[in-house]
Amino acid sequence: MSYWERNRLSHGYLLRKSIRKWSISIFRAVLLFGLCFLIVQPLLNKLSVSFMEERDLYDSTIISVPRHFTTGNYTKVAELIQYKTALFNTFWVSLLSSVLQIISCTMIGYGFARYKFPLKNVLFACVMLTIIVPPQTIMSSLYLHFQFFDFVDFFGIYKLITGKGITQVSLIGNGAAYFMLAATGMALRSGLYIFMLRQYFRGVPKELEEAAYVDGCGKIRTFVQIMLPDARPMLTSVFLFSLVWQWTDNFYGSLFFRKITLLTDNLQSIPEKLMDVRTNTPATTAYGQMMTATGMLMTIAPLLILYVFAQKGFVESLSQTGIKM
């Protein structure tokens, strides 16, 4: 049966339906293409600049297509920011801290969503406080706290009373302090992840867990085997956020990772490093900014590759959702 025959039999319904379907998808395609272009265009500018030679910058006939194509900028920037070491360090630091963050935040969020306990609201207000107060506010005292960290006097009570610590160790420099913050839900934007996961777990039907408990499943096993698989899209986005924010953060980086070279360490100082040693003349502003743009692209690129792999967590979970109502 041809399309038109089927259309006639359905009294024009089929045609109307397919017109509607097509117009929606055309509208969607135009809209998404426009928005994507809006987002990508600044990056494309950077990309085209990063392949130019310096003299192309001063040629007013060149806007976006380089006349003297070169990949020399990339090799030069890679040398300036110690790309290989920095990339490797940033990778493991971000990965470790996001894994710690995701474990701690999921546990805390679940606890807030599912159990009633005394002072719960006060404790949750503390979570909100850690989101609202930006880390810059408490930077100096946080630094001092970890500069003279005390494993025996963990909460600093003894020090508060007597004014001196028992066994003081400096945790600044190698990142140990930051990983402790990540493991206790105190790191960069952890409060937001706790809040997100709490809201998500509150929206999951309780009957699922009740059924598991009735069948003799313990609390931890219920959490791992029943709750976590359904939460995969949420966990994916939390993981991506923490990875990205950690990757591009240079606040905690400069505070706690002094001894470790990270990607963000040298990104700001590229223009200064371009100074010609022999003649002692600084690089021109345009040249420095061209190199900064190249460095930014080199920082972003690994994240995009990671995203392409990680976004499977969004897609696959759709078919696997296990809530049977």
Partner 1 sequence: MADNTLMPEASQPVSAPTTKRRKSSMAKRNAIAGLLWTAPFTIGFFAFMFVPLFESAFMSFSNVTIDIENHSYVKELIGLKNYDYIWNSDPYYKRQLVESLGNMGLQIIAVLIFSYFVAFLLNQEFKGRALVRAVFFLPVILSSGILVRLDTDNSLLNGIRELIQESNNAASSITGVLEDVLASGNGRISDLMQTIFDLVNSVYDIAIASGIQIIIFLSGLQTIPVSMYEASKMEGCTGWESFWKITFPMTSSLIIVNVVYSIIDFCTRSDNAVMSQVRSTMVQKMDYGQTSAMAWMYFAIIGVIVALVTFIISKWVYYYE
From residue 58, alpha-carbon distances to 53, 66, 93, 254, 286 in Å are 10, 12, 40, 35, 9
**Strand pairing category for 168-169 and 149-150:** antiparallel
| Binding of residue 257 to partner 1 (CB under 8 A) | no
Closer CB to partner 1, residue 32 or residue 275? 32
| Min CB(253)–partner 1 separation in Å | 9
| Binding of residue 15 to partner 1 (CB under 8 A) | no
Rounded CA separation 290/274 (Å): 11
Total binding residues toward partner 1, as defined by CB under 8 A:
113
Closer CB to partner 1, residue 3 or residue 58? 58
Per-residue x/- marks for partner 1, 183-222, CB under 8 A? xxxx-----x-xxx--xx-xxxxxx--x---x----x---
Among 152, 161, 277, 304, binds partner 1 (CB under 8 A): 304
| Binding of residue 256 to partner 1 (CB under 8 A) | no
Q: According to CB under 8 A, which residues from 25 to 54 bind partner 1?
A: 25, 28-29, 31-32, 35-36, 38-43, 45-46, 49
Rounded CA separation 235/200 (Å): 10
Among 11, 61, 132, 167, binds partner 1 (CB under 8 A): 132
Q: What is the largest CA-CA distance in the chain?
A: 92
Q: According to CB under 8 A, which residues from 92 to 121 bind partner 1?
A: 104, 107-108, 110-112, 114-118, 120
Rounded CA separation 108/48 (Å): 45
> Would you call 149 helix, strand, or coil by DSSP?
strand
Span near partner 1 by CB under 8 A; candidates 67-75, 86-94, 176-184, 273-281: 176-184
